[in-house]
Every structure is written in C-alpha cells, then in structure tokens.
Amino acid sequence: MSRMIVFGIAVFSLLIVLALSFHLNFHLNNERGGGVVGDEWKIGVMVTIPPQAEFVRSVGGENVVVDIMIPPGENPHVYEPEPGRLINLSRARMYVMMGSGIEFERVWMDEIISLNSEMLIVNCSKGIELINEGGGAADPHIWLSPRNARIIVRNICEGLVEIDPANRSYYESNMNSYINALDELDRRISEKLSQMECRKILVYHPAWAYFARDYGLEQISIEKEGKDPTPEGIAHIIEQAKSEGIDTVFVSPQFSRETADVIADAIGGNVVVIDPLAENYLENMGKIAEMIAAS
Ligand SMILES: [Zn+2]
C-alpha cells in the first residue's frame, strides 16, 4: 500500500471519530439542558409546587422535563428558594405558576421572571372561581379540588401548545386522558363522602375550602390567619368539636402538630395526616377522601 493511501485512511478514520464524539457530546449536553433529543424538543418546565409536576408530565408526556421550585416537605407559605433552584430557571421555557396568591409566588414571581424573561408564564388559576378568605385575599389552595384540576390542566395544555404547536394533538389527547382520570376521581370522592353523617372536618391548616365546597363539607380550621390559636381559641374549638361529635383532627405534614395533639387529646380523638402537596396527585387525593370518609 502506498504511503498516500495509508495516510488517507488514517485521516478519514480520525474524522469519523471526531464526528462521532461531537455527535455524542451534542446529545449529552442537550439531554442535560432539556434541549434537542433525537429529532424532538424536550421542553424545560418549572412549576411552583409538587402536584403541578404530575399535571405537567401528564399533559407533556415524553416532551417535557419538569423541575419543582418548592421541593417536597417545604411549606409554600414561608419557603425561600436556594440559589441553586433559581439557576434551574435558566433552562426552563415555561413557568407554571399557581396564580392564586401563594405567598411564595407573591414574593418571588417578579424575580423569577427577571431571571428568565424568555419563559412563557402559564397561570393555572385562569378561569377558576376563587374563594375569598376574608380581608380581600383569595384562598390559594385551588388545586385541592379535582374539578379545579381539570381547568388547571387545560391551562397547562394551552401553554404547551403555544410553545410547541406541532404537537397539539399529542398534548390534547394526553390532557383528555388525564381529565378522564380526574372525572373518575371526582365521582369516587363524591360517592365516598356522600355517606358521611357529620359534614364538618376539623383541620389544622385551612387548605381544604375548595375540596369542602365541591363535596358539601364544612372546613373548621384550628390555625387562624396563619397563626396558632390563642388558649381561648383552642378551648372554643374543643367545645365545638365535642358538640358536633368530631373526633378527628387533620394535619398537613408541613406544619407542627403540637396544637392538633392537644385538641385531639381533649376530645378523645385522633390526629390524621393528609398531605395537600404530594406529587402523586390522583393517588393522594383518592387516599385523602378515604381517610376523611372514615373519620
Ligand atoms: Zn397552605
């Protein structure tokens, strides 16, 4: 073989190796950044609280990578983000805000938008009838009604279609399947709770007003305007619970249960934990309905 041919083969092989490694790098980088994978675009989506992650994944399917701003176990009424979470914003193309007045969003939304002004901002509360908490403020816990969740996933679907109109039918069919699952959940909860005799539920943190409205229940909360009750307040709740025949105090895992334990002791009842922020929304809401029905 002539030297020219050997040299030619060597150069050609080197070019192939370079091309392959470039290709590989390109894929690795983009998978990390939520960019192009194969021929598809993965859309980076940032959400405020864990249940929204299930909503976005259910509609976006294979095409989305979801990050949660307030990690599981944190309390969105007081949470402040670490710098690392804000860096994740740079790869998001869409921010899904609850829009119902969660303290975290009221304090941080302007900062979040200024860090990545290219993001499409989706407001989950668009089209949802808010409950007033008194003092002109809305109750922010809109997602705890499966009927509201239907509207929330429609808002999310609209946002994804705006970013990626080519996949409209994929997002819409995913949305319809999830809405069917929400309707089924709604029917199951209605059926379970319709048999409850006492229509009042005693909760520490008042997260359940939308849920109570949908299923004909009344929420009595121990916490008043974000604060632990006074001793007189506690005495009043104990008296009320006794006269209504209430023997369960529901608490959220994000809050201290000290006061709830005191009240449960006084009424000879139990403390039961229900999580308003679990990421596995459908499963969690089904479980919560069972626990309320059994109370
Ligand atoms: Zn809350």
pLDDT score of 24 more than 50: no
For the domain that residue 287 is a member of, what is the CATH number? 3.40.50.1980
Assess whether 48 and 176 both reside in one domain.
Answer: yes
Mean of per-residue pLDDT scores for the chain: 89
Q: Give the C-alpha distances (Å, rounded to integers) separating 192 from 57, 196, 292.
A: 28, 8, 9
- Find the domain containing 266 and state its range: 196-293
Phi and psi, residue 78, nearest 5°? -130, -5
pLDDT of residue 9: 60
d(CA 31, CA 259): 47
State how many domains the chain has.
Answer: 2
**pLDDT digits over 137-180, tens only?**
899 999 999 999 999 999 999 999 999 999 999 999 999 999 99
> Shortest CA distance to 102 belongs to which of 277, 248, 231, 283?
277
Residues bordering ligand 1, an ion, CB closer than 5 Å? 207
- 17 C-alpha to ligand 1 centroid (Å): 55
- 76 C-alpha to ligand 1 centroid (Å): 7
- 32 C-alpha to ligand 1 centroid (Å): 33
**Given CA atoms 103, 104, 110, 113 in this order, what sign does their dihedral have?**
negative
Assess whether 163 and 249 both reside in one domain.
Answer: no
- 133 C-alpha to ligand 1 centroid (Å): 12
- 208 C-alpha to ligand 1 centroid (Å): 9
Classify 274 as helix, strand or coil.
coil
- 116 C-alpha to ligand 1 centroid (Å): 27
Size (the chain), residues: 295
pLDDT score of 53 more than 90: yes
Assess whether 266 and 122 both reside in one domain.
Answer: no
Structure tokens at 78: 């007081």
